[in-house]
Amino acid sequence: MSRVFSGIQPSGELHIGNYLGAVKNWVELQDSHECFICIVDYHAITQAYEVGTLQRRTLEMAMGLLAAGIDPGKCVLFVQSHVVEHTELAWVFTTVTPIGELERMTQFKDKSRRQESVLAGLLNYPVLQAADVLLYKADLVPVGEDQVQHVELMREVARKWNAKYHAGYFPEPQADIGKAKRIQGLDGRGKMSKSLGNTIGILDEPDQIWERIRPAKTDPARVRRTDPGTPEICNMYALHQHFSSPPVVQEVAEKCRTAGWGCIECKRVLADNIAEAFAPMRQRAKELAEAPERVGQILAEGAEKARVVARETMAGVRAHMGLLPVALREPAER
């Protein structure tokens, strides 16, 4: 059975972009695979962030994942900084990763433009990501399309380390891109992302969903209600494909092309369907909110399970790299 690893930043809000792009896939995979799902707080600190709210955002992300259907009985859910081996292996990997490869990463190029002086942590972000996955010798990485380049880099890191120290020690992980490669933001200016403020949260109440969708960008050709549109270029139509039944999707396309509906009518149907799709998750979130200590406990148990695997991998890494063992710590492994 192959092992799955994926990560998500503690932005606090699980939105329909990261839900459809990744989390939905995780929930499906946990029935057939051994899954490790990690809230990556050490990644989150590579850009400016609010210190005072990080704890809350981390817990809220855990709650969101549990509400979305991540089941701690089936998969290991934990916080990255609770398992120190992530940063330890990341350091090791910096010694086999060419700087040129890191500078080529699209996400690094985008984000470094926004930093006043470019910090080493941002450049090394994909090295930590490689450590996340390889620490568990995971071979399947379910992510959205924006992470494919990072998965390719981790394959290279695995190859380089294996070539230098021990053939076959790390597997070369494969990205697993779901059906929803890239969900556009409601402002129509790029991918849906918390930092751009163009999201719909999966736990938003129906009226909040409507507030978000009502002003959302549609086909610019539809200025007046009587102007026909092209559904294929409208983000509302793209979202209908994820949340509405095939006959409704067909109706939406037709009513858009013929100006049978105004955008507002199309949006109303969409908002209702999104609200309905996430009703069970809102219910689960309410139950979890009543027992917040349970979430902390789930994360602590997850870290405990993750550590068992992480320690074993690191013991092998140190042994193959010729590092001196602490006699008392790992007597048998050397």
User: For 243-247, which contacts have Cβ atoms below 8 Å and span 24 or more sequence positions?
Assistant: 243/270, 243/273, 243/274, 243/277, 244/269, 244/270, 244/273
Task: Please identify which of the residues 74, 137, 160, 194 carries the catalytic annotation.
Answer: 194
* Nearest residue to 203 (alpha-carbon basis) of 27, 75, 16: 16
Q: Letter for the amino acid at 195? A: S
Please tell me whether residue 170 binds ligand TRP under the rule CB under 6 A. no
Count each helix (H run) and each strand (E run) in the chain, helices first: 16, 5
Range in contact with ligand AMP (rule: CB under 6 A) among 189-197, 208-216, 278-286, 313-321: 189-197
Reply yes or no on whether 194 is catalytic: yes
Size of the site for ligand TRP (CB under 6 A): 14
Please tell me whether residue 61 binds ligand TRP under the rule CB under 6 A. no
Contact between 122 and 164 (Cβ < 8 Å): no
Q: Interior CA angle at 304 toward 165 and 74, to 5°?
A: 100
We find the least distance from the C-beta atom of residue 299 to ligand AMP, in angstroms, to be 17
Please pick, from the candidates 16, 20, 39, 40, the single residue that binds ligand TRP as defined by CB under 6 A: 40
* Nearest residue to 185 (alpha-carbon basis) of 177, 194, 176: 194
Specify the residue, 96 or 151, whose C-beta has the smaller distance to ligand TRP.
151
CA distance 147 to 125: 12
133 binds, among ligand TRP, ligand AMP, none (CB under 5 to 8 A by kind): ligand TRP
For residues 6 to 45, the per-residue mask of contacts with ligand AMP, x marking binding by CB under 6 A and - elsewhere, is: --xx-x-----xx--xx-----------------------
Please tell me whether residue 5 binds ligand TRP under the rule CB under 6 A. yes
Rounded (10°) CA dihedral 38, 78, 173, 108: 30
We find the least distance from the C-beta atom of residue 87 to ligand TRP, in angstroms, to be 12
Find the binding residues for ligand AMP in span 107-166 (CB under 6 A): 143-144, 146-147
Determine the length of the chain.
Answer: 334
Residues known to be catalytic? 111, 191, 194
Residues that bind ligand TRP (CB under 6 A): 5-9, 40, 43, 129, 132-133, 141, 143, 147, 150
